[in-house]
Amino acid sequence: MLRKSLPFLLALFLTGKNASLMSEPINIVSSVSRLDLNSGRVTGERADYFLDIPTMWSGYLIGDRELIINSIWPLEKLNFYFTPSIQPSKPALFLSVNIYSIYHYSLAPGHKKLVETDKYVFTVYFPVENPLKNKTDIAIYNSMKADATDEYLTGLIRLSAGDEKRYDDTIWVNGKQLDIRAITEGNVTYLPIRAVCERLGYNVGWLVAQEAVTMRRGDVYEILLKNDINANQGFSLVLNNNSAYISSLYFISALKLNVEIDERKNVTLNES
């Protein structure tokens, strides 16, 4: 009986159904270095960018940078941790930012795309749970998290000359960016009613039984019904992820807004 060597048997094993394991990129942290948040800015190592650090962050957060070996994505990962006031307590993850090359990008579990540039893609991850125990720490953590909107975080990213931020399906109302995106189906661009109208100063409500959106600002009162297109001046109200949307044309005809949509489906709304 022919005796097989160990390397031969291993190679034979990997040529079977388990061979695919060899082709999967294995992310191994090659280095973790502490970030100096007190300097007010973090400089990219494998990507050409700067991240401004707010004073609040430098006061309550610590950070580190992970550089990955055996993989070209992400280029680097920034982790920020909230430091509890009661010691010894383990720092709680506040957020993580992954930076990818525009040519090698895959959304990691739990991450969402924050912004794309001509060269890079930035994604962000927020933990679902807050593990802190102290009430003061919890209040500060939650306040900082509420402030960390997409617009806020995107504004912290500074790019080198020759690189610019790209936007897709992004909504601006009177110059302010919303955290929720537009939806395009066919030739119709739908906008989230609550997010847009609250930014305009409307009080927005939802009537469960009637499946209707109510909007009030001063003497103006509007009601939009899910199942009655005629009550909506001919526009359909659609639901997506527990948010009510309506055509961008409604904001032109009913609310008399100036609405512009560019080739990347970004929407700008301004009051006359």
Task: Give the number of domains in the chain.
Answer: 2
Q: Looking at the structure, tell me whether residues 35 and 157 fall in a common domain.
A: yes
Domain range for residue 127? 26-166
Question: How far apart, in whole angstroms, are the C-alpha atoms of residue 143 and residue 146?
Answer: 5
Look at residue 2 and tell me if it is in a domain: no
Q: Looking at the structure, tell me whether residues 149 and 219 fall in a common domain.
A: no
Question: How far apart, in whole angstroms, are the C-alpha atoms of residue 100 and residue 81?
Answer: 21
Report the chain (272 residues): mean pLDDT per 10 consecutive residues: 39 37 52 94 96 96 90 90 86 96 93 94 94 92 94 94 91 93 93 96 94 94 91 92 94 95 94 84
pTM above 0.75, yes or no: no
Q: Looking at the structure, tell me whether residues 62 and 30 fall in a common domain.
A: yes
The alpha carbons of the chain give a radius of gyration, in whole angstroms, of: 24
Question: What pLDDT shows up at residue 22?
Answer: 37
Question: What pLDDT shows up at residue 10?
Answer: 35
Q: Looking at the structure, tell me whether residues 162 and 51 fall in a common domain.
A: yes
Q: Looking at the structure, tell me whether residues 162 and 179 fall in a common domain.
A: no
Percent of the chain beyond pLDDT 90?
76
User: Domain boundary residue among 135, 166, 197?
Assistant: 166
As given in the structure block, the two tokens for residue 219 are 């003497």
Q: Looking at the structure, tell me whether residues 217 and 257 fall in a common domain.
A: yes
Question: What pLDDT shows up at residue 108?
Answer: 92
Look at residue 62 and tell me if it is in a domain: yes
Question: What pLDDT shows up at residue 153?
Answer: 96
Q: Looking at the structure, tell me whether residues 160 and 139 fall in a common domain.
A: yes
Question: What pLDDT shows up at residue 68?
Answer: 84
Q: Looking at the structure, tell me whether residues 94 and 195 fall in a common domain.
A: no
Question: What pLDDT shows up at residue 254?
Answer: 92
Question: What pLDDT shows up at residue 31?
Answer: 86
Tokens 């989230």 belong to 192
Q: Looking at the structure, tell me whether residues 178 and 221 fall in a common domain.
A: yes
CATH number where 213 lies: 3.30.457.10
